[in-house]
Amino acid sequence: MKVSVDISLYPLHQEYLPPIKSFIETLRKSEFKVLENNLSTQVYGDYDRVMEFLSKHIKEVFFDESMYLFVLKIIKGDRSE
C-alpha cells in the first residue's frame, strides 16, 4: 500500500535551522520520493517502509538534548502527482 506523509519539524530552541536542514537531508538521501515546500516536506512510498524509516530517524532526532515537535499528516495513496 502506498502512502503520502506530510512532515513538519519544529525545534523548540534558538538554533532551529540546522536540525531542520539535517532532517531534510536525511529524507533526501532515502529511497523515497521527497518533495519540499516552505512549510513542510512530503515523503511518498510504501507504507511499511516509509513508516519504519520515519520511526527510526525521528527517534534519532529525539535523542538530542533539545526539545522537538514533529507534525505528521499521513494519507493513504501516493498523492505526489
In a domain, 30, yes or no: yes
In a domain, 41, yes or no: yes
Report the alpha-carbon distance of residue 36 to residue 42 in Å, rounded. 6
pLDDT tens-digit series, residues 58-80: 999 999 888 999 999 999 999 99
- All 3 cell numbers of residue 53? 524509516
**Residue 21, domain CATH:** 3.30.70.930
Report the alpha-carbon distance of residue 39 to residue 36 in Å, rounded. 8
Which residues 6+ apart lie within 8 Å of 58 measured at CB? Answer: 70
Domain count, the chain: 1
pLDDT tens-digit series, residues 3-19: 999 999 999 988 899 99
In a domain, 81, yes or no: no
